[in-house]
Amino acid sequence: MTMTAHALPAVANATPLPLAEVPDWSFTAFRAAVLDELAAGNFLSAFFGVPDGPDAIRFYAVVTRPDVGTIGVAATRVTDSFASLTPDAPQAHWFEREIAEQWAVVPVGHPWLKPIRFHPSYREGHDAWRRPSDHIHPGVTDFFRAEGSEAHEVAVGPVHAGIIEPGHFRFQCHGEEVLHLEIALGYQHRGIERRLVNGPDKRTIVYMETLAGDTTIAHTTAYCQAVEALAGLTPPPRAHALRGVALELERLANHTGDLGALAGDVGFLPTASYCGRLRGDFLNTTAELCGSRFGRGLVRPGGVAFDADPPRAARMAERVAVAIRDLNGAHLLWNSVTVQARFEGTGVVSQRAALEVGLVGPAARACGVERDVRYDFPTGIWQYTHIPVAVLQTGDVFARAYLRALEIERSAAFVSSQLANLPEGPIRRPCELRLAPDSLVVSLVEGWRGEVCHVALTNADGRFSAYKVVDPSFHNWFGLTLALRNQQISDFPLCNKSFNLSYCGHDL
Amino acid sequence: MLSVLAERLRQKHRTIEYPLAPPVLPDRLRGLPIVDASRCPSGCQACAEACPTDAIRLDPAGPVIDLGKCLFCTECTTACPQEAIAYTTDHRLAVRRRDDLLRRGDAYRLAEKLDAKALRLFGRSLKLRQVSAGGCNGCEADVNVLNTVVFDLGRFGIQFVASPRHADGLLITGPVTKNMVLALEKSHEAVPAPKIVIAVGACAISGGPFAGHAEQSNGADDVLPVDLYIPGCPPHPLTILDGLLRLLDKLPEPSIP
């Protein structure tokens, strides 16, 4: 690592930092320091703007360092434009598009500067593309085009064939081969981030539960960690354990569903059928705890709202044990030659590409990138217990599928052992949520799709002056684009399922 | 091949008995709430103030809960000093008219079946096109689950199809984001008449947590006429199934709880 005169300060996950201690550098120094960090193998977990007076935007960069378990934060002030980081650090590309769209400041030199959500900028009368605000429509932009007598274009969505969220996919093809896939999102944009400003209020927690509804536990835990840190509050050990159980049940349900969907996409119906049912068994285990299959109402600031007394914990453990036994039916997948022929070598993302674009979660771990918040930045129950991190090397559909199978096994073992040994004591500390003023906190949680990153900034009154949400899908949609390069277009559904990304988590 | 067959035998028959037998539901399920206004201290507003979506209105006769806005969370039950509001595990929530979602005391009018002509057309075969328009993937997931062997939606003659042109109606989730209005309208136009529209979840009925945001439409009936409202956040799969079966008059008589 080349050391510069500037180094980003090191804070731990979910540990508040007074805003006065966030380095406020010239843009040149900020850019150099962030690029140095990323060149050293660290990750850009968040990069966003907040208003700073009528004509300027303050940028915050959040760099995570898995090797040492610390988080670096830096800030700078920008007016109309800035020198894009993307040419030197591709990880920044989607963040800079978001910054341009939200704040109408232009990253000069960005190789592919386009909107990502298709909404008017938050600075009225300003637009990075100089569009009038009534001329902004979803999917209306320049798309990459392949020209040639045998080149053709396939457009899909926003409404898709299945029961699935909307998004638009544009394929540039030569025959059956995909030269490039461009993904246009924003159809799910509900305007949540702007409504989080001046919180927390009575709606804040339900926004967190619905940022991405299949990731309710990870997002609400990230939020609770953030406000608990700002309020100087530590949840009781029993709450940590129950949050951990709920987080892993969320992973178990979604990974199981994904294995079933992948099997269905290659026409292997036994596994598709069994996993469809077993996914529900994991959701029902969460409902056994809190009444909601998605964990709505469970995670609350100060702890959790529902307890599992010994008979209930035993019933939950039994449900998981039975489901895991039946999941052996899913493993027929690995012994079927026809399935393996479709999985292996399909949708390959190289480790280098995964690192360059900053993939997270199973999509990254399937490419040999050892990155897992539970292990690298432990909070809550993860300070006391570890789940071995699963890593595979091939970066193809097979790796993304098999990685889920490995994680299912390990999460189930964790859930069983926690439910058998829940710490004694209360499940929630009373809290009034008086947040430290003029502070910043970064809160990371390993959701089932990967790193969930929340960044809360408070004003002098201890209210949110900004609240940034980075869903794992924000990092990973471009991974799907890379996976489709030179693939058969008929393999798109399979590649897509192998990522199974969130539209609403991205669009917010 | 033999191992596949052996596993098939081991996995057994897994379709639930419902609707011929009562459904199995979690004991902590937050289903139809009951309101006991006689417990309300005079002037108390605690439930209405705590509600994140302002679903509770205080009438002279007591609290009225708009189940179209209700997220079935625990804020009101926790805030109430007298336990005047409580959830039951009754999963039956679907109604035909928006006003029927107002829960006062014990009164609640569940969905009626389609009229005779519509029932003749759709009663034995209903094809639906699902459109997510800002849904968080909660409602979508619990609609999708009806296709699994557990619920086996096909046994009721109901099927989700890939094209609106093959459909008899739309099932909408999400608050209808502004960025999805045009796609939703086009999908609806593409469904051949006569057609029905089903709104699933608090978002599709009222905007849910996003009600009032400029980026959305406060639900589907701002854009299209709705024939069936299924409340919840998200509704339990059996709540959705109950609504569909009521509409098609497929629940056994007398209706089991």
Q: Which residues of B touch A214 (CB under 8 A)?
A: 136-138, 141
CA-to-CA distance for A249 and A147, rounded, in angstroms?
48
Least Cα distance to A252 among A271, A218, A278, A219 occurs for A278
CA-to-CA distance for B188 and A268, rounded, in angstroms?
33
**Positive or negative torsion for Cα A287, A292, A294, A299:** negative
Where would I find the H helices in A233-336? 237-265, 269-290, 310-326
Least Cα distance to A442 among A452, A460, A456 occurs for A456
Question: What is residue A328's predicted lDDT score, i.e. its pLDDT?
Answer: 82
Helix (H, G, I), strand (E, B), or coil: what is residue A356?
helix
Nearest by CB: A189 against B8, B52, B177:
B177
- pLDDT tens track for B217-234: 999 998 999 999 999 999
**Residue B162: closest C-alpha in chain A:** A161
Q: Kindly determine whether residue B137 and residue A287, on different chains, have CB atoms separated by under 8 Å.
A: no
Question: What is residue B196's predicted lDDT score, i.e. its pLDDT?
Answer: 97
Question: What is residue A3's predicted lDDT score, i.e. its pLDDT?
Answer: 45
Q: What is the DSSP letter of A302?
A: T
Give the pLDDT mean for A178-193.
97
* B243 contacts chain A (CB < 8 A): no
**Residue A505: closest C-alpha in chain B:** B136
The amino acid at B248: L
Q: Which residues of B touch A329 (CB under 8 A)?
A: 7, 10-11
* Residue B255, pLDDT above cutoff 70: no
**Residue B139: closest C-alpha in chain A:** A213
Q: Kindly determine whether residue A504 and residue B134, on different chains, have CB atoms separated by under 8 Å.
A: yes
The amino acid at A90: P
CA-to-CA distance for B169 and B116, rounded, in angstroms?
17
- Chain A: closest CA distance from residue B253 (Å): 28
- Chain A: closest CA distance from residue B1 (Å): 9
pLDDT band at B42 (very low <50, low <70, confident <90, very high): confident
Select from A133, A210, A327 the residue whose CB has the most chain B CBs within 10 Å, as the one to mutate to test that interface: A210
Nearest by CB: A291 against B29, B53, B149:
B29
Q: Which residues of B touch A186 (CB under 8 A)?
A: 179
CA-to-CA distance for B10 and B12, rounded, in angstroms?
5
Q: Which residues of A touch B150 (CB under 8 A)?
A: 276-277, 280
Question: B163, B128 in Cβ contact below 8 A?
Answer: no
Question: A411, A256 in Cβ contact below 8 A?
Answer: no
Q: Kindly determine whether residue A270 and residue B8, on different chains, have CB atoms separated by under 8 Å.
A: yes
CA-to-CA distance for A453 and A445, rounded, in angstroms?
7
* B148 contacts chain A (CB < 8 A): yes
For residue A94, give both structure tokens: 């989607």
* Residue A5, pLDDT above cutoff 50: no
- pLDDT tens track for B100-133: 999 987 889 999 999 999 999 999 999 999 999 9
For residue B58, give both structure tokens: 């205080």
Nearest by CB: A165 against B74, B140, B147:
B140
Please tell me whether the overall predicted TM-score, pTM, comes out greater than 0.80 for this model: yes
CA-to-CA distance for A181 and A172, rounded, in angstroms?
6
CA-to-CA distance for A420 and A423, rounded, in angstroms?
10
- Chain B: closest CA distance from residue A268 (Å): 10
**Residue A274: closest C-alpha in chain B:** B11
Q: φ, ψ for residue A8 (rounded to 5)?
A: -75, 140
CA-to-CA distance for A91 and A89, rounded, in angstroms?
5
Q: Kindly determine whether residue B136 and residue A213, on different chains, have CB atoms separated by under 8 Å.
A: yes
Q: Kindly determine whether residue B183 and residue A158, on different chains, have CB atoms separated by under 8 Å.
A: yes
CA-to-CA distance for A195 and A203, rounded, in angstroms?
9
Helix (H, G, I), strand (E, B), or coil: what is residue A298?
coil
CA-to-CA distance for A449 and A443, rounded, in angstroms?
16
* Residue A2, pLDDT above cutoff 50: no
Nearest by CB: A212 against B136, B139, B164:
B136
Give the pLDDT mean for A464-478.
98
Give the pLDDT mean for B31-43.
92
Q: Kindly determine whether residue A195 and residue B160, on different chains, have CB atoms separated by under 8 Å.
A: no
Question: A43, A70 in Cβ contact below 8 A?
Answer: no
Question: What is residue A6's predicted lDDT score, i.e. its pLDDT?
Answer: 65
* Residue A1, pLDDT above cutoff 50: no
Question: A94, A475 in Cβ contact below 8 A?
Answer: yes
CA-to-CA distance for A338 and A344, rounded, in angstroms?
10
Question: A256, B199 in Cβ contact below 8 A?
Answer: no
Question: What is residue B254's predicted lDDT score, i.e. its pLDDT?
Answer: 60
Query: How many A×B Cβ pairs under 8 Å?
Result: 173
Q: Which residues of B touch A216 (CB under 8 A)?
A: 138
Task: Please list the residues that pair with A352 across neighbouring strands.
Answer: none
* B236 contacts chain A (CB < 8 A): yes
For residue A441, give both structure tokens: 């906190």
Interface confidence: ipTM more than 0.85: yes
Count how many residues are written for chain B.
257
Q: Which residues of A touch B73 (CB under 8 A)?
A: 206, 296-297
* B215 contacts chain A (CB < 8 A): yes
* Residue A4, pLDDT above cutoff 60: no
Q: Kindly determine whether residue A190 and residue B234, on different chains, have CB atoms separated by under 8 Å.
A: no
Q: Which of A117-121, A191-195, B20-24, B180-184 has the lowest mean pLDDT?
A: B20-24
A49, A160, A468, A494 from B100: Cα distances, Å: 45, 32, 39, 43
- pLDDT tens track for A51-61: 999 899 999 99
- Chain B: closest CA distance from residue A315 (Å): 12
Q: Delineate the domains of chain A, giving CATH numbers in brackets.
A: 1-116 (3.30.460.80), 192-472 (1.10.645.10)
Select from A190, A211, A294, A508 the residue whose CB has the most chain B CBs within 10 Å, as the one to mutate to test that interface: A190
> To the nearest whole number, what is the mean pLDDT of chain A?
95
**Residue B15: closest C-alpha in chain A:** A277
Q: Which residues of B touch A161 (CB under 8 A)?
A: 162-163
* Residue A311, pLDDT above cutoff 50: yes
Q: Kindly determine whether residue A212 and residue B144, on different chains, have CB atoms separated by under 8 Å.
A: no
Give the pLDDT mean for B158-176.
96
CA-to-CA distance for B78 and B89, rounded, in angstroms?
17
pLDDT band at A431 (very low <50, low <70, confident <90, very high): confident
Q: Which residues of A touch B4 (CB under 8 A)?
A: 270, 332
Other beta carbons within 10 angstroms of residue B44's beta carbon come to 17
Count how many residues are written for chain A.
508
Q: φ, ψ for residue A21 (rounded to 5)?
A: -95, -5
**Positive or negative torsion for Cα B188, B190, B195, B198:** negative
- pLDDT tens track for A62-120: 999 999 999 999 999 999 999 999 999 999 999 999 999 999 999 999 999 999 999 99
CA-to-CA distance for A400 and A393, rounded, in angstroms?
10
**Segment 101-140 of chain B within 8 Å of chain A by CB:** 130-140
Question: What is residue B257's predicted lDDT score, i.e. its pLDDT?
Answer: 47
Question: What is residue A503's predicted lDDT score, i.e. its pLDDT?
Answer: 97
Q: Kindly determine whether residue A335 and residue B139, on different chains, have CB atoms separated by under 8 Å.
A: no
